[in-house]
Structure 1
Amino acid sequence: MTSQTAPMELHYWPTPNGHKITIFLEEAGIPYEVRYVNIGRGEQFEPSFLKISPNNRMPAIVDPEGPGGQPISVFESGAILQYLGRKFGKFYPADERRRTEVDQWLFWQMGGLGPMAGQANHFRQYAPQKVPYAIERYTNEVNRLYGVMNRRLADRAYLAGDDYSIADMASFPWMRSPQNQGQDMNDFPNVKRWFEAIAERPAVIRAVEVGQEHRRNLAEDKEAQKVLFGQRAR
């Protein structure tokens, strides 16, 4: 199993996608240094950050001890989790059948739960005009996805089976505020059991606290809303 001597460089802001990576690093006991990227003030557009994250999104990592002992940067939270899982041999099984199971649920979160929860949250909390169709559309889709997860967890402890994995780390942060997505966790007892078990893990408690002092009430920060919700090609 690989060890890490130099700290991982984590470019981060306390959002669900950022929390995915702090959860892994805390769970695995990997040393890391946080480089805050204030997305409400446009720091994600700085040329130095775009070199490692060309999609101008955080999180991103720079591993000073990458393949061949040379530094490597990785952007996109799912790709980061896979990279860390492979490198450290934790929370990402080497067996191909089990790894495929993890990958399916990781991509389910990346392509479904995260984007849909984000849209539901946006139209319910931040949109300057309430658009009933959009609110209903995304709230219903998140509800459907919670239902998919609830059925999945009916006969297993975690999304990919009996073992906690990067698939769980990816989904958990997006479900910390179900009320903002128009959901009631009590309607999904298997999801609730899974969520509460993960929320009690000491590493997860530490991970979601990273950078909390930097969070602002986005609903009241109009300048941040302009930066985050008005982006176009540059």
Structure 2
Amino acid sequence: MTITLYAHRLSQPSRAVDILLRELGIEHTFHEVDFAGGETHTDWFTHINALQTIPALWVDNHGTPLYLGESHAIMRYLCRTAADQEGAQRWYPGDADPARSARIDQWLDWHHGNVRRYDMFHHLMNLHQTLPMLKREIQSTLLTPLQDGLTPGLAMLEAHLSRQQQGTPALAGDGHPTLADLAISCELHQIMAVGYRFKNYPHVKAWLEAMAERPHAHAVGDRIRAQGHEIREQNSDYLALDAFG
């Protein structure tokens, strides 16, 4: 079986899938897609993923091809088909444990409307590349509304994680991270790398740091750490890095 991941390391969902592939020990080829340059809208990529988004997965299972988009769907598929089912079911048990799967699905569904919805990274990149006279305008008119929108979700995550008394915090509550932890932590680590502080959310901060320091996440995150450092060094005067406490 041959697997190719079409993705980009500055894409939060792409990193979540890449980390999971490594966690499950699934051999794959990483094909970088220039999504900022419009490559997802080319004919060749539309054949891979009609949704024209990254990440996308191509699987050739002995002549039977599978083309799949949307990171949540890709990660569920990988867990259902991984050779190491004992390891995969820690991340997502599927039918083996419907109740735990439902708890994970709950947070995956919540992710899109409450964290992904307030993605700031494209605006941070614009801030990084624009003229100084426009940087404060980007902060006030584009970034501030997204920061305000994200705050209730951070408060909900903080309350949920604070109720977990034992083991490593994880959204399903049993000490092992799941697909939901991967999806949401990759989203929030994007702005932590830029320098945003989470002083009012200590449980969220500890959870994010623990997820980011897992060996495979750390290996996949080198590019976003470098990009975040560059943005922080050149634009910290224009960023409300204390927006979350």
Give TM class, smaller chain: 0.7 to 0.9
Q: Match for residue 33 of structure 1?
A: 29
Q: Match for residue 183 of structure 2?
A: 170
Per the alignment, do residues 53 and 212 of structure 1 end up closer, same or farther by CA in structure 2, a change over 3 Å counting?
A: farther
Shift of 1:70: 2.0
Contact 2:8–2:55 under 8 Å retained in 1: yes
Q: Match for residue 208 of structure 1?
A: 221
Shift of 1:124: 5.6
Work out the percentage of aligned pairs sharing the same amino acid: 25
Per the alignment, do residues 182 and 135 of structure 1 end up closer, same or farther by CA in structure 2, a change over 3 Å counting?
A: farther
Contact 1:9–1:35 under 8 Å retained in 2: yes
Q: Match for residue 5 of structure 2?
A: 10
Given the two structures, how large is their TM-score scaled by the length of structure 2? 0.75
Correspondence for 1:153 among 149, 153, 161: 161
| Alignment of 1:187 onto 2:200 | yes
Measure, in 1, the Cα distance between the counterparts of 2:110 and 2:65. Answer: 30
Shift of 1:9: 0.5
Measure, in 2, the Cα distance between the counterparts of 1:165 and 1:213. Answer: 26
Contact 1:13–1:211 under 8 Å retained in 2: no
Give the total of aligned pairs: 209
Q: Match for residue 72 of structure 1?
A: 66
Higher relative contact order (CA 8 A, sep 6+): 1
Deviations 1:52-106 (A, max 9, x none): 212221110011128xx72211101111111112222411023111000000111
Measure, in 1, the Cα distance between the counterparts of 2:101 and 2:195. Answer: 32
Contact 2:121–2:191 under 8 Å retained in 1: no
Measure, in 1, the Cα distance between the counterparts of 2:30 and 2:67. Answer: 14
Structure 1 residue runs of 5 or longer lacking an equivalent are: 1-5, 219-234
RMSD: 3.0
Contact 1:18–1:59 under 8 Å retained in 2: yes
Shift of 1:214: 10
Per the alignment, do residues 57 and 134 of structure 1 end up closer, same or farther by CA in structure 2, a change over 3 Å counting?
A: same
Shift of 1:111: 2.9
Measure, in 2, the Cα distance between the counterparts of 1:29 and 1:182. Answer: 32
Question: Which amino acid in the other structure matches residue 66 of structure 2?
Answer: I
Measure, in 2, the Cα distance between the counterparts of 1:100 and 1:122. Answer: 32
Per the alignment, do residues 27 and 45 of structure 1 end up closer, same or farther by CA in structure 2, a change over 3 Å counting?
A: same
Correspondence for 1:81 among 58, 62, 75: 75
Per the alignment, do residues 192 and 63 of structure 1 end up closer, same or farther by CA in structure 2, a change over 3 Å counting?
A: same
Q: Match for residue 24 of structure 1?
A: 20
